[in-house]
Amino acid sequence: MSIASDGPSIYISVDMEGCADIVHWDEVRPSTSKEYARSREIVTDEVNAAVGGAFDGGAKAVTVNDSHSTMRNLLTERLDQRATIVSGRLKPNFMLEGLTPEFSAAFFIAYHGAIGAGEAVMGHTYSPRVIFECRLNGAPIGELTINAALAGAWGVPVTMVSGDRTTLEEAAATLPWAHTVETKRSISYFAAECVSPSAVCAALRSAAARACKAEAAKPFALPTPIVMEIDTYRTAQADHLELIPSIKRIAARTIRFESADFREVYRALQAVIYLGAAATA
């Protein structure tokens, strides 16, 4: 697509677990259930609020990447017609497919806490069947920080984040300049004190407009060399993953990858997700 040059261009990566009033896997696993159907409506409304807010804030182009599970969750016929939609998988850049250095800023909508975060509703890091813990330069992190680093590798700052309180705590540590919208306060893995979906949408629209002009924002960057370590759920997964020449196995369930370019680290992560899932079959 061509991006207009006379206003900010906004990229939106949208997950689902961090939406308002969603607290269980049966609400986010693609299926014919009424629970998933309702969640599709909720996430579509939240995306529309963020897109509308971006245009309120002066955006001239908005691209939305459906980033959850099969990546075909949004009710595209209901989406704001001004937005461009990236849908489906396999995507080489996964949750940030379609992002380029030409974008002014990125928004992360409906994000969730990392695997191991004690109170995060449905906390996981990309694949709950493969990744037991993910660390960057020794620090446990979640999808938010990893995706912010990939955006940063392209020189794009993340200026807005929505999700549960655990997610926003990670955002405060990683992206202190970002505008945030809290959708719920995690109580346990399957429980939360939730903000109403309509109130969340109103807050998203307002925050998105402000996030188009986040003057203090900067691309998130990690010191190099960048070392990613992943603990797998099963030793069989590490068995498969150590076959990749650039990945080293350093413990029974731990693999390691190092690079000065985070885009290479992210590609290795995709290999972990897909090959690790094949190893569980």
Active site residues: 124
Query: Which residues, 6+ apart, have CB-to-CB distance to 198 below 8 Å?
Result: none
User: Can you tell me the distance from the alpha carbon of 163 to that of 140, in angstroms, rounded to the nearest whole number?
Assistant: 19
Supply the DSSP string of 38-97, one letter for each residue. HHHHHHHHHHHHHHHHHHHTT-SEEEEEE-STTS--S-GGGS-TTSEEE--S--TTGGGT
From the list 8, 71, 20, the residue with the least C-alpha distance to 49 is: 20
CA dist list (Å): 187 to 6, 38, 192, 193, 203:
44, 22, 5, 7, 22
Tokens matching residue 144: 């938010």
User: Can you tell me the distance from the alpha carbon of 59 to that of 177, in angstroms, rounded to the nearest whole number?
Assistant: 19
**Contact (Cβ atoms closer than 8 angstroms) between residue 99 and residue 47:** no
User: Can you tell me the distance from the alpha carbon of 216 to that of 177, in angstroms, rounded to the nearest whole number?
Assistant: 6
